[in-house]
Amino acid sequence: MNLNIRLATIKDLNSINWLFKEVICDINNTKKINLLWGEVHPFCEFEKDINNKEMYVIEKEDKLIGSFTISKEDDPEYHAINWNSINKKNFYASRLVILPNEQGKGYAKKALDYIVNYAKVNDYEFIRAVIHKNNIYSIGLCEKNGFIKVLDESWIFNGEIFWGFEKEIKKLIKQ
């Protein structure tokens, strides 16, 4: 399997839009998770994420099968969550999606491994994620990979509850 993870470029925008439409359709039809994604959001964020060099694509044999964002922006809305990583160097991992017919093959885990390695190489202390309380897939992936739910803290948007998760990054030992 030839899997490649790289920064997205503006040339990827149409493929990214197609990918997210496929994922949203699948979620709406089968998974019953309310991600608050629809016609506008998250599509309105993609060009900004690409221009800020925060959006990544996952390719398998040169076909786009996934995407995620690594954002250093400290969204004030997320301050409702009482993070353990206050005053620490951190970023948010968000919008990790895998094409529905490629799910269950370990690609989300590979993306998360990439995100953790990015944090280590760039001397981050924590990775944060904000996940809808019913998104059992993302919650399971995070918990299996060392993310800890911030206890009794959440962010409420449009009546929907989102939980904060954090992963502390251990420093690389330089030899």
Range of the domain at 104: 3-168
Burial 119-152 (b: 16+ CB within 10 A, else e): beeeebbbbbbbbbebbebbbebbeebebebbee
Q: Is 77 within the bounds of a domain? A: yes
Q: Is 14 within the bounds of a domain? A: yes
Secondary structure (3-state) at 158:
coil
Q: Mean pLDDT across the stretch 14-26? A: 90
Q: Mean pLDDT across the stretch 112-122? A: 95
- Six token digits for residue 93: 């991992």
Q: Is 18 within the bounds of a domain? A: yes
Looking up residue 146, the CATH number of its domain turns out to be 3.40.630.30
Please tell me the total count of domains within the chain: 1
Q: Is 174 within the bounds of a domain? A: no
Q: Is 68 within the bounds of a domain? A: yes
Q: Is 141 within the bounds of a domain? A: yes
- What's the whole-model pTM score? 0.88
Q: Are 58 and 4 in contact (CB under 8 A)?
A: yes
Q: Is 173 within the bounds of a domain? A: no
How does pLDDT run across 153-170, given as a tens digit for each residue? 677 777 778 889 999 997
Nearest CA among 18, 1, 134, 129 for reference residue 61? 1
How does pLDDT run across 59-81, given as a tens digit for each residue? 999 899 999 999 988 777 777 78
Q: Are 129 and 164 in contact (CB under 8 A)?
A: yes
